[in-house]
Structure 1
């Protein structure tokens, strides 16, 4: 049975991990595409500025119709790209590759009309190659290298040098050196700015992917625990039923009926047995039914009041303060999983502070916020740093630390959060926040929104 459970859990974890990787593949690519669009706007502005300076400042005649046509095509392509990628979030390697090919083609056309390899701005090819090395996979990068090399060779063979004015022919070497310096500064500045941004995007992508993998591992752990719990619940069903029958038979024995103390013990045993059966049923309900199928339609205040009453009556708490600050009640849908989550947090607080703890409930910014406060020793710094991770506990018992781990993951599934902090006066505060949209009841449809 254990082997089968682990196989199913591993398969579920692999599916979750693959889905997480697939979902995390594209955000960095989208940001990098936006960086390319910004770089293309800078290139367009730079081309206009360079054409104006060369034509008006140095009196060099350029084929303006052809160069402006290339510039218009580049601007039109960039406007189309901005509109497309503003709406669409997924970017593939092929799409980034095509965008860089357009930039290479535009640069090649402008260089062809402005002197070819005698134009110092031919070194801007290096910018395209380096950006491709950062953004693209290996085959795409080498393709860009081959294409830019072919373009440069083609410019050397087929382009013609610019016709310089007679009074500027003797100063051509100086103009070329000045152009090289400008090109170098431009290349260096753009590379520092954009490679830094692109690297930051890639680091953010890697961090998010690592977080998703961690979540997938935690969810796999939860799947395994759920399977083990449901299996144990099924196994406990038979002995609990047998004990119930035996206790019922004992009540029918005349000799035992005369013993009042023994009858009281049998009654208490039947009560506790019934509680065990209820717990087992709750485990099976949580493990075997999806949210919504085992849900209860109620209101926030009613749910919390009943939860507090049940928890207080079944725990040996000395002093428990419950404050419900929710003034505007709301129809909601709660299930047994969420109820058990709150129980787990309260149980942890009770173990740390058996003399006193409190629960405060409030609505804040469209969320339900629960503050559970105790007067215990508080969380150790290393536990706060790893809050919500499995087996992070100061109790020193096998399996400790799973209560908060499950609370964090159940809340995260609903779009909420669980945070913890220590109080300056001593003790700890655990804050559970759930968006009301995740639990609110759509009265027209009769289910959670």
Structure 2
């Protein structure tokens, strides 16, 4: 499961302000009680509690607002900041104005807005905070003498709150920037990979057009040879050759059909059991020496899916890779299992090879651990999973070998259950 990462933007800043607003209501109430009751300082508590109560009601209203589906605009966020600044200014006016150590909290809205809005909005918020501070310098209700010790304590508390909040905001922003850089790098790698796939697809289309004629000629010659040699070892070899030629012709037809399906954005409706069995039959045709074992849910024949273009080839590539790995370790077994896990349809392909020889870099084409491999099968499967909103994971299997896990969301295959 992917770790949830922090985000910045207008909605994120609005949620952060909502959380800070509730914290401010609790902290301001506790401070007023401590100063007026604990220290015996005469304060205008009715007006202070009125301001805190209004802030609390506004916090509840914003909480309800953020639960609604419509997005938060920049103007609405500015309104939230303006109301917070006015209420804070009112509370500071009743408690010494600019001489109150907590007047430094007027800087925090500027920091928050700077992470999500344009410089123009930041300037407006800065002028709003500056104007509030200048007003508090001229008009305020002075506090009774508190002594230097209590004033220094207030300054220390204000510094601590500001330092903690600023450190939190900046660390989250730095983390978001690092994540964005990682995402940009991943996007560049995917773009390079897709360019490689496009070049291969272009060459494959040309090869498909050119191969159709020689395959037809070979099919005709093999048919004639089979008539002349109807028995014996040569007849068996010719039959195998005929099947392989027909398989090549089927591949060319599938290539054209997949292209048409991709352009039409349609998939083939079939059951999960039929889909897996079709892939297994193709594997048996390509690799008749493989002992193919499949594990399906009891009602898999009633799970109807719309198979997207390319998914057949992705699964067949995984099965073929598993066959190569098993055969390289003097085993002929390949296991396939299908299950539904939450909102995903999961297909597992397990081989009985020597295990993962090194870290597998998914999505990086043209790298193969096989001397006869082109290195694009696994990359194509990963690209298909990514296009469908799923993922491809390769890990060591219990008891040896490797398990490849292909997971796709149920929504992308439009699964229909009985």
Does residue 318 of structure 2 align to residue 345 of structure 1? yes
Aligned to 2:359: 382
Aligned to 2:40: 58
TM-score normalised by the chain length of structure 1? 0.74
Aligned to 1:220: 191
Does residue 280 of structure 2 align to residue 298 of structure 1? no
CA displacement 1:398-430 (0-9 Å, x = unmatched): 841x22222223223334332111246432111
Distance 1:197 1:407, change over 3 A: farther
| Distance in 2 of aligned mates of 1:439 and 1:133 | 42
Aligned to 2:279: 307
Q: Which has the higher contact order (CA 8 A, sep 6+)?
A: 1
Does residue 262 of structure 2 align to residue 280 of structure 1? no
For structure 1, which runs of at least 5 residues remain unmatched after alignment?
A: 1-23, 165-171, 445-449
Does residue 173 of structure 2 align to residue 202 of structure 1? yes
Structure 1 counterpart SS, 2:44: coil
| Distance in 2 of aligned mates of 1:29 and 1:380 | 46
Aligned to 1:363: 339
Deviation at 1:271, TM superposition (A): 5.2
Structure 1 counterpart SS, 2:67: helix
Contact preservation (8 Å) 1:230, 1:284:
no
Deviation at 1:435, TM superposition (A): 3.9
Deviation at 1:181, TM superposition (A): 1.5
| Distance in 2 of aligned mates of 1:251 and 1:301 | 35
Match of 2:401 among 396, 416, 427: 427
Contact preservation (8 Å) 1:369, 1:431:
yes
Structure 1 counterpart SS, 2:142: coil
| Distance in 2 of aligned mates of 1:116 and 1:204 | 36
Count the aligned residue pairs.
403
Does residue 5 of structure 2 align to residue 30 of structure 1? no
Contact preservation (8 Å) 1:361, 1:368:
no
Contact preservation (8 Å) 1:371, 1:429:
yes
Does residue 160 of structure 2 align to residue 188 of structure 1? yes
Aligned to 2:350: 373
Aligned to 1:395: 370
Of stretches 217-226 and 43-52 in structure 1, the one that deviates more from structure 2 is: 217-226
Aligned to 2:378: 404
Deviation at 1:63, TM superposition (A): 7.0
CA RMSD of aligned residues (A): 3.9
Contact preservation (8 Å) 1:129, 1:145:
yes
Q: How does 1:43-442 map to 2 (within 5 A)?
A: 43-56=24-37, 57-62=39-44, 64-65=46-47, 67-88=48-69, 95-132=76-113, 137-162=118-143, 164=144, 172=145, 174=147, 177-189=149-161, 191-192=163-164, 194-199=165-170, 201-203=172-174, 205-206=176-177, 208-210=179-181, 212-214=183-185, 216-217=187-188, 219-221=190-192, 223-243=194-214, 246=217, 260=229, 272-290=244-262, 295-315=267-287, 317=289, 319-329=290-300, 330-354=303-327, 355-366=331-342, 367-383=344-360, 386-395=361-370, 399-400=374-375, 402-423=376-397, 425-442=399-416
Structure 1 counterpart SS, 2:369: coil
Of stretches 435-444 and 423-432 in structure 1, the one that deviates more from structure 2 is: 435-444
| Distance in 2 of aligned mates of 1:417 and 1:62 | 61
| Distance in 1 of aligned mates of 2:285 and 2:71 | 53
| Distance in 1 of aligned mates of 2:89 and 2:124 | 16
Distance 1:302 1:234, change over 3 A: closer
Contact preservation (8 Å) 1:298, 1:333:
yes
Contact preservation (8 Å) 1:104, 1:125:
yes
Contact preservation (8 Å) 1:32, 1:198:
no
For structure 2, which runs of at least 5 residues remain unmatched after alignment?
A: none
Deviation at 1:179, TM superposition (A): 3.5
Of stretches 132-141 and 340-349 in structure 1, the one that deviates more from structure 2 is: 132-141
Contact preservation (8 Å) 2:389, 2:409:
yes
Contact preservation (8 Å) 1:417, 1:434:
yes
Deviation at 1:154, TM superposition (A): 2.1
Structure 2 counterpart SS, 1:58: coil
